[in-house]
Chains A and B, each alone.
Chain A
């Protein structure tokens, strides 16, 4: 069965695709020839529609391609389609959107989000997917769907062509079935881009100390069954001569809160441009008396509930009078979180935690959760994402048949160490 067929099958079974092209474009010759990929729908591919999980961008077809995807295409890769996602990245379960993907291991459970479509696609077809993480959106679905989810250092991959959620937090990464494939694709996309002023050349890699810390503060916030699986993975590392120690990380909760305040503040400015004037939906402009009334109506109709919630909170957090208390304070907490991580990296190669506090919840369980309970699900991924550290989720067993992931975090630009440790967990018997 060819790649396009497989993609269509995946979509039929799991509702994971937002767009599938009629046929696959001719592949350029290069190191990635024969590599077929899916791309998360917040990354622009010229000529393919992009809506980032939102109704407000229905019908929008970008006139340019994201740098990271273009680099892959230039090396021979072919795009088999765009994957579904939480609206603009707002979500941990991929339920905040019209088309909700199903977990390949249990159709009554979510895939995780916001790169849920990508994870489901990769798990079903075996083909890799370019995805994106702001607060954990690669790790969560990778863990829930049982694939490798790789999030590189912030600034390693160009964000030119990425429909923004939070510019200081968004990172483009990879879903794949093996660590090797994931890193191969990452290095093919990575590197400074003059079109993205926040990209930078990587620092030199440091030598391994062969010591890893298990972050107890986060570990203890996860289900016992999850901890058990992750403990086995830690055991595998120890068996290979890696010293695993316990270390606290007291800034886990503040890191999560700071992440949300900053992410929502930035998002509320990024989403300001969606107003029915230049692209996206244009619902009967003639029915509005004023421009203000028109764009308010567009946004009321075009945004989902979670998007609206984050817009309101994000706008509030940066209003005069509250800006110092929330936005500025969150930025200061961010610095403290980074410092805390740096202290740990003086001694340790890597830090490990479970990727998620639980296995993929059922859709009906999710319906009963409050917004805060949704946000609390990011407790493992919030702080490392806030700090822009590279991290990966590696499958490490199952609980009641459902995948569990181990999160490995390394220092900035130490992707080689990350790859080494990840492989040690993936293939304990080298």
Chain B
């Protein structure tokens, strides 16, 4: 198998309320509803940087082990296309926000990263009848124009399409965990994949959305390049597109047709300085890195539970519990509690069940007051109807009392007959026997229960 070199440039949409350079909302809307002078590029408009976007980008870079550039510059990348409202994109060129990081993928490979920078998204082109090749006209939706992107570039160190897919999955997992990207949004990550084989030039495949498609595109492109080499052709520098229908890559433009973007420093924006106060605020607001949280929890519970606790947002809740048996606790939190949460679409565990309630429930199970089977039923009701544990324990106590009373009567048949014959004292005797054995019951309640049960026996 010949060696291949793969590098990926991934654009992730940062999860902010408003766009990168204007106050338009990022939430989905009717086409062109979320536009203004700035993202439409009207003459006289000027960009202003969204601080939240910078914060999220800084958090992403930090989580990826990158070095932050305390001063970075925005740049204009000029080219002509209908989806670019100013016919230039504000991006970062010479001096990006962060450089040199790494991502460990599944504990097997480490993917080193070249850089991370901020840039705005162009508008969306919509083909009402088919695609670019056959639609009679195209429509432009500028809602996407100006959306905040972080571009993450890997070194060309990936060795297979499968590794590329694994990297993207690990990247997605990490960034959604941090809250840097919105995991519910299908289009939150777009990738340009670069591939070269020995003796050939690098080919770029642009704008692939799904991770599976990235793997397939690279595979298809590898075959194309290998075949070309075998036929004695040169593999030339090109930009291509991946077609899902044919599972092949198609030529978009050759290196001669490559545009010169004529980068200049963006003169409407001062340099982006990350000062001490800003960094402190940003990094302290960051969630604990997942690998660190997982490692910490692995001291108490097996790794697979630790992973679930971390990535399902259960770790802080787990750690605030007073249940002493952590494995037992993890089984319940990652099992029945999580099931209930998923059933009801609740993301935050304390909104599903107060941790004190869970502790009380588990304590009742460990002390034998209730069976595990009963507890599995109770937890569902506690989450669904927000019923407190006391409700079940007193009801339980009622049922429990029945059993215990029956026990006492069974053990003392003589006293039962005597009572039935009219001897009141025998009831007190039976009560005494009961209270000797079992704590936590109201004597009057038990007396009534004894009476009632004996009456039933009589019948």
Residues of A within 8 A of B (CB): 43-44, 50, 52, 57, 60, 62-64, 66, 159-164, 166-168, 194-198, 265-266, 268-269, 272-273, 275, 277-279, 291-292, 295, 315, 318-320, 323, 327, 331
Contacts and interface: CB of A to CB of B under 8 A. Distances in A.
A57 B43 contact: yes
Interface residues of B, number: 29
A262 to B, nearest CB: 9
B253 to A, nearest CB: 13
Interface in B33-59: 37, 40-49
B37 to A, nearest CB: 6
A184 B453 CA distance: 100
Nearest to B94: A328
Given A198-B270, A275-B80, A269 B46 contact: no
A315 B47 contact: no
A163 B44 CA distance: 4
A365 B210 CA distance: 65
Contacts of B269: 197-198
Interface of B: 37, 40-49, 76, 78, 80-82, 85-88, 260, 262-265, 267-270
B44 A62 contact: yes
Contact of A266 (B48, B87, B264): B264
B264 A44 contact: no
Given A50-B43, A273-B41, A197 B88 contact: no
B45 to A, nearest CB: 8
- Say what secondary structure dominates the interface of chain A: loop
A52 B43 contact: yes
8 smallest CB-CB distances across A and B, nearest first, come from: A272-B87, A167-B267, A168-B267, A318-B262, A163-B43, A161-B44, A44-B44, A273-B86
A295 B80 contact: yes
Contacts of B80: 272, 275, 292, 295
23 contacts: A44-B43, A62-B44, A64-B42, A159-B46, A160-B44, A160-B45, A161-B44, A167-B46, A197-B47, A197-B269, A198-B269, A198-B270, A268-B78, A269-B78, A269-B262, A269-B264, A272-B78, A273-B85, A275-B80, A275-B87, A278-B40, A291-B82, A318-B264
A166 B44 CA distance: 12
A37 to B, nearest CB: 18
Given A52-B43, A272-B87, A194 B48 contact: yes
A418 B268 CA distance: 27
Nearest to B265: A331
Given A50-B44, A161-B44, A197-B269, 5 more contacts: A167-B46, A275-B80, A278-B40, A318-B262, A320-B260
A277 B82 contact: yes
B46 A63 contact: no
A198 B264 contact: no
Contacts of A44: 43-44
B268 A167 contact: yes
Contacts of A278: 40-42, 85
A219 B269 CA distance: 35
Contacts of A277: 82
A318 B85 contact: no
